[in-house]
Amino acid sequence: MPSQEERRAETRAALLDAGATLFAERGIAGASVDAIARAAGRTSGALYDHFGSKEGLLFALLEGWVGDAAVAIAAEQAAATTFDEWVAAMWHAVARPPRGDRRWIALEHELWAYAAQDEEARRYLAKRYRAAWAGVAEAASQWVDDLPERIGPTVIGLLFGLEMMRRVDPRAVTDAVAVRALTSVLTANDRHLHRSP
């Protein structure tokens, strides 16, 4: 018989999976707490107990996926011997997410649209993006001496935009095209890359 801690972990996992599916299918506004709980085989009270709100569930989902992506990027970038390989690691995490779960990028776009109308979501997204922007700039500075100003938002925006276009037409945005675009932006001010970080 599973322990209470194991049952809580199972409930949390079921709610996260159901939330990911329904948010992707119906959008954030269209996925109600009751529908998510029902899809998970749990009660709405369980969702509130674990996440506090539908938005809390959404933020937990994204944090988990972003954490997985960060680990994958760090591992691939640590093994990079060229700048193109280092840049490709960022692209791979978006184009081929860890564990193959492509729902997270669809949800990222959905959250952006939702945040345009919801102040709490906007604050959450701004905080998360500021951390991502700073991380990109800090990591890239190991390769590039003179980074363009505000490189973080540019790189993250380009990554998501390229991924959106790839979903529309995979042949239009190949891995080579994406890496070339990202490399061009990162090295706009400095053509003298370090050989290694």
Residue 193 pLDDT grade (very low, low, confident, very high; cuts 50, 70, 90): low
**Under 8 Å between Cβ of 98 and 68:** yes
Pairwise CA distance, residues 64 & 56, whole Å: 12
Mean pLDDT value across residues 168-178: 94
Q: How far apart are CA 94 and CA 185, in angstroms?
A: 17
Predicted pLDDT of residue 75: 87
The predicted-structure confidence for 124-163, as pLDDT tens digits, reads as follows 889 989 998 999 999 898 888 888 888 999 999 999 999 9
The residue assigned the tokens 């969702």 is 47
User: Which residue has tokens 């990911």?
Assistant: 20
66 or 32, greater pLDDT: 32
**Per-residue pLDDT, 100:** 64
Q: Where are the domains of the chain?
A: 1-52, 60-197
Class of the CATH-defined domain 1-52: mainly alpha
- Residue 186's pLDDT is what? 92
- The tens digit of pLDDT for each residue in 77-110 reads 889 899 999 999 999 888 887 766 677 777 888 8
| Mean pLDDT score across all residues of the chain | 88
Instruction: Give the model's pLDDT for residue 114.
Output: 86
**Domain 60-197 adopts which CATH fold?**
Tetracycline Repressor; domain 2 (1.10.357)
**What pLDDT, on a 0 to 100 scale, did the predictor assign at position 195?**
45
